Chain A
Amino acid sequence: MYELMEFVVRGAFLGVIYGLLAFPISLVFATTGSVDLAVGAYTVLAVAIAWAVGGPAGIVFGIAAAVLSSAIVGFISMRLNRPGTFDHITAVLGTFGLATFLESFILTVYGKDPMARQMFDTFWDVLGVRISPQALINIAVCLLLLVALYVLLYRTPFGRMMRASAINPLGAALNGIPVQTIWFCTYLLGGFLAGVAGILVLYTTGADYSTGLQLTISGFGAAIIFGMNSPLRGFAGGLVTGLVQVLSSAYLPGGWVTAAPMIFIFVVLALGPMNRIAATGGRV
């Protein structure tokens, strides 16, 4: 029983990070209708830079690098989403190209070794479950960001403009909202969140150059479980994804450990709200 408890707790700690990653994905989707597949790559970039630089400076540089690369993706997506050119799938392909670029960049510069750091050596024993102080930091940071984002989205003029350009870009533009700028800011915000997630990953589980795609997938899974269009639900989805991952690594035989979370996400994709758009091309 204690064992199960420990796994559940650990899954929840992992889950808050996925929740943080789910936010940029669903935010970008809700605002621009496109999916940013490079989110995991920004995270790993933040991990690598924070790991190499070290200390508080590393944290700042790591997040800055993530924001910078998301700015590049934002720029690319803006160019690709121009009217008269192509559909969103092309923009997704563009983000995929950048994810490949970043993965190879991290491999070339920082090598194949896993990157991880630990801030605390001690563990707290709560009711027989070992908890690292880091876990509390993760949860505190995530909750803080969640509240900040809620305020930003629903209590500020900027958030209102953001929601307006998500619901009706043309109408928003006619009302004088700079839709393209808002979209670009969405990407930047996504990069910032991914950067923060990267710092937490560095001090929690660690990552290596190839973790990026897995993180994107986990974040995407978290984002779609309870619906893509509301970014705040991604946190709950993240908890579920983290739980599935930890529980499958605890109770399933070898080969299934990495496959099970993906199969889970596949099932969510097939059954989930994103797939319920009927054969009307989304005109519901």
Chain B
Amino acid sequence: MMLRMRDRLRPAFILFIIIAALTPLIVGKPFWLDNSILIAVFSLMALSVGMSYGQAGILSVATAGFASVGAYATSIVTAHYGLSPLLGLLLAIILPMLLGYPMARAITRLSPMPLSIATLLLSMVLEIAIREGGDFTGGYIGLSGIPNLPFASSLEAMHVLSWSIVVVVIALYANLTHSAIGRAVKTARHDPLRATADGVDVPKILASYFALSAAVAGVAGWLYAHHLMYMGPDSLTIHVSIKTMLMTVIGGAQTFLGPVLGAAFLTMLTLYLPASEAQGMIFGATLVFVLLVTPRGILGTDWLKLLSRSKKRETPIADVTRTSERTA
């Protein structure tokens, strides 16, 4: 179904209006500006999960890994060599793609299950590489002295910049999803054989889409590094991946605004949570709970429909599973 330009841009437009309305309320309040920027960073990472998991059906645990590649790329370029952060941005986009595409190509000849294990391996290897990187990555101590962005040196400017990036990414993402490529990805996810019959090169298109989602995570890492001005081995760990995954699932992995909503909700929630040791329990339990109750997320569920027919549903005795899913 071809949507008109106006409809395709609607999610980005809605987000733009919300941010425009909220911005005057938080100008001059460093605490809220800081959190707003963090929400924008996590929104980008959650959108990356939304692209790979929601659209392409690839469960990636390497979101934070790709983000840390982007973050370390720009940190090393700017802090070590004093080069422009824009070069860092370029690297933060390209490097995760260079890492993600061949990996997805090597693994997905169509099996999302091994690929999700591979992303787990990748993020573990990346964490080791960062720790063992010596002076280059700062090792266990991390890299400090990352400059802030010359064109967005105040918190307000950073807030505007990060949300502009989110709005642009959502606009592009929505446009891509409604294009022929987006429809091909959806078909490839649900029925690879059908997609192949339609002339879609399934492994190639899934790997490209995965690489694209990695690039979005890389941009998030770029913002993260220049906002916090420090990168360490504990900054973007696998736990951050789990958190972003939770954000995406809560908001609605297949929607455009769901990941942003989830990011805002969880970031605010984290402010009031107890010790970080116990956070994993809360996140893990919430993830399972959300998957059980609203597997499509808050924005992806048709609540009225759900309430009106919830009593009629019956579960058959056996699960009829398609072979294409079983051999995943």
Q: Is the CB of B59 within 8 A of A93?
A: yes
Contact of B196 among A81, A92, A259, A280 (CB under 8 A): A280
Q: CB within 8 Å of B: which of A247-264?
A: 254-255, 258-259, 262-263
Q: Is the CB of B281 within 8 A of A104?
A: yes
Distance of A215 Cα from B167 Cα, bound (Å): 41
Tell me which residues across on chain B come within 8 A of A282, comparing CB atoms: 110-111, 323-328
Nearest to B245 among chain A residues (CB) is: A93
Q: Is the CB of A277 within 8 A of B109?
A: yes
Interchain nearest-CB distance for B159 vs A (Å):
31
Contact of B278 among A33, A108, A214, A277 (CB under 8 A): A108
Tell me which residues across on chain A come within 8 A of B239, comparing CB atoms: 100
A136 within 8 A of B: no
Distance of A215 Cα from B135 Cα, bound (Å): 31
How big is chain B's contact interface, by range? 35 or more
Given A92-B116, A278-B109, A279-B110, A101 and B292 contact (CB-CB distance below 8 Å): no
Nearest to A72 among chain B residues (CB) is: B288
Q: Is the CB of B319 within 8 A of A262?
A: no
Distance of A84 Cα from B208 Cα, bound (Å): 29
B65 within 8 A of A: no
B118 within 8 A of A: yes
Q: Is the CB of B125 within 8 A of A275?
A: no
Interchain nearest-CB distance for A175 vs B (Å):
10
Distance of A97 Cα from B291 Cα, bound (Å): 10
Nearest to B317 among chain A residues (CB) is: A173
Q: Is the CB of B288 within 8 A of A101?
A: yes
Distance of A281 Cα from B328 Cα, bound (Å): 7
Tell me which residues across on chain A come within 8 A of B111, comparing CB atoms: 274-275, 277, 282
Q: Is the CB of B318 within 8 A of A173?
A: yes
Given A33-B327, A281-B191, A101 and B284 contact (CB-CB distance below 8 Å): yes
What are 16 contact pairs spanning A and B, CB under 8 A? A76-B292, A83-B320, A88-B326, A93-B249, A96-B287, A99-B284, A101-B283, A108-B277, A169-B320, A213-B238, A262-B121, A270-B106, A270-B118, A280-B324, A282-B323, A283-B193
Q: Given contacts A108-B277, A262-B121, could you give 7 more A-B pairs where the C-beta distance is less than 8 Å?
A: A213-B120, A255-B129, A259-B129, A274-B111, A280-B324, A281-B193, A282-B323
